[in-house]
Each structure stands twice: as C-alpha cells, then as structure tokens.
Amino acid sequence: MKIEAKELSKIYGKGESQVTALDRVSLRIMQGDFLSITGPSGSGKSTLLHLLSGLDEPTCGRLTYDGKDIYSLSDRERSAFRRRSIGFVFQQFHLLPVLTARENILMPLLLDKKQPDEAYFQRLSQLLGIGSRLSHLPCELSGGQQQRVAIARALIAKPDVIFADEPTGNLDSKSGGEVMEMLRAIQKEMGKTLVIITHDSRVAGMADRRLSIVDGVLTEVAGR
Ligand code: ADP
Ligand code: MG
C-alpha cells in the first residue's frame, strides 16, 4: 500500500478563533516504511494521524492509498476500507473490561462477520508474548500486556498499515521498551507500514524515517 498526502491542511474554527492545526502537509509512505513523528503538544500530531488514516477529513488537500482518493469515498466505504487496511494503537488501550484478552483481540473480526485465522492468531499471540494470558480479563494484565493485546487486536484483520498515537505514553520505560521492540519486530517480519507518534526520543530513534511537526508544519528530519 502506497500512501500519498498532498498539501493536506486542517483548519479548525472561523475568524478570530481559527486554528491551522495542519499546514499543507505532503508526505509519501511506501509499504513497509517505519516512520516516527514527534512534536510539542498541540503541534498537530493527532490531527495528522487522523487525516492520514481517513478518520477525519482535511479542510483541503488530497490523500490517496495506492492511487485511490480516500476522501472521495462515502463515510461507509471509508470505514470499511479502514477496517480492512488499517490498524490503530492508542495511548489508552481501549480494551473492553468484560471480555478476555482473546475476545478483545478477535473483536474486530466479529464486527466484520469474519472467521478468525487460528494459525495467524496463535502467531500474533506468540510474537507479542501473551500466549499464556489469553483467557484473562484486562484488569488481570499489566499495562504492557494490555497494550500488547491491543496491538494484537490492531493486527488481527491483517491490515497493511498500523498507526500508533503515543503507544508507550501510559507505560513505564521498561514495558514501553518491550512493546516497541515487539512492534518493530512484527513490522519488519510482516512487512507492515508503521507510523508512530511519540514524545519519547528513544522510540522515535527506532524508526527508519524520523519526522517532526511544529505548528502544523511537517519536516522529515532523518532517514536511513
Ligand atoms: P497534538 O496531537 O500534537 O498535541 P492536535 O493535533 O491534537 O495536537 O492539535 C493541533 C491543534 O489543533 C491544537 O492547537 C488544538 O488545540 C487544535 N485542535 C485539535 N482538535 C480540535 C478541534 N476538534 N477543534 C478545535 N481545535 C482543535
Ligand atoms: Mg495528540
């Protein structure tokens, strides 16, 4: 999946109270790329992630996935596209408290009326080190384990692209490091595209392409 953003802007409000959250951002992401985006609070990181993933609409600009204009789709088509092609990981784990880890991971498939691929499920659980925790409720898991369950849930529908907004923001440095190592291993092994927003320079440094955003203006800082 090749993602191309052309001059994406997002302006909130009108007149005096108008805020340019994103200012003509252009970016090309190839399948298998691993990008990190850092920037101060309020610089437009979440806005950018919401636009790149089709969760929110830009004020102007274009976004294509393999040449297809995402914002020309209807809301329904766009959410179906997101469910199939994109996985999300957030700072808050957003697990359902009454479901076990296994049920939480399989939830997106149930919503889409799809059968789980048991071998793939087992492989994900193993890669994320949660194989022995699958019958536990979220409250019986550590923060790091909960985030690993959330990552398995993001991957279960076999998306091409993962967007993560501060995935280590609620974790101590040790479990945050473990979560990042696993996420990177999966990204490399499965050839996923990974876009991570982070405040943590250590996390940002793991990415192959590092970008920074200030006042809605995106700059590519380094690549390897
Ligand atoms: P970050 O994630 O980098 O902290 P955001 O993308 O959340 O920044 O916000 C960028 C700017 O846009 C901020 O000035 C914020 O106040 C503003 N903003 C974000 N969402 C809205 C909204 N729904 N309505 C009005 N202003 C918003
Ligand atoms: Mg944010």
Q: Domain limits at 147?
A: 32-59+73-222
> Could you tell me the pLDDT band of residue 204, with boundaries at 50, 70 and 90?
very high
**Domain tally, the chain:** 1
Q: 21-75: per-residue pLDDT in tens? A: 999 999 999 999 999 999 999 999 999 999 999 999 999 999 999 999 999 999 9
Return the closest-CA partner of residue 24 out of 54, 49, 57, 58: 58
19 pLDDT exceeds 90?
yes
Q: Using alpha carbons only, how large is the chain's radius of gyration in Å?
A: 17
The model carries a pTM of 0.94
> Could you tell me the pLDDT band of residue 223, with boundaries at 50, 70 and 90?
confident
Residue 39: CB partners within 8 Å, gap ≥ 6? 45, 212, 213, 214
Q: Determine, yes or no, domain membership for 11.
A: no
Pocket of ligand 1 (CB under 6 A): 12-13, 19, 21, 39, 41-47
Q: Which residues pair with 37 in a beta bridge?
A: 197, 211
Q: 67-119: per-residue pLDDT in tens? A: 999 999 999 999 999 999 999 999 999 999 999 999 999 999 998 889 999 99
Give the C-alpha separation, 59 to 105, whole Å: 34
- CB of 5 within 8 A of CB of 26? yes
Q: Determine, yes or no, domain membership for 128.
A: yes
Q: Determine, yes or no, domain membership for 165.
A: yes
Find the ligand nearest to 165 CA.
Answer: 2
Q: Determine, yes or no, domain membership for 120.
A: yes
CA of 158 to the centre of ligand 2 (A): 25
Q: Determine, yes or no, domain membership for 22.
A: no
CA of 202 to the centre of ligand 2 (A): 18
Q: Determine, yes or no, domain membership for 160.
A: yes
224 pLDDT exceeds 90?
no
Query: How far is residue 12 from each of residues 15, 16, 21, 119, measured CA to CA in Å?
Result: 10, 11, 7, 45
Of 9, 38, 43, which is best to mutate to test ligand 1, by the most ligand atoms within 8 angstroms of its C-beta? 43
Find the ligand nearest to 47 CA.
Answer: 1
Q: Determine, yes or no, domain membership for 127.
A: yes
Report the CATH number at residue 79. 3.40.50.300
Q: Determine, yes or no, domain membership for 214.
A: yes
15 pLDDT exceeds 80?
yes
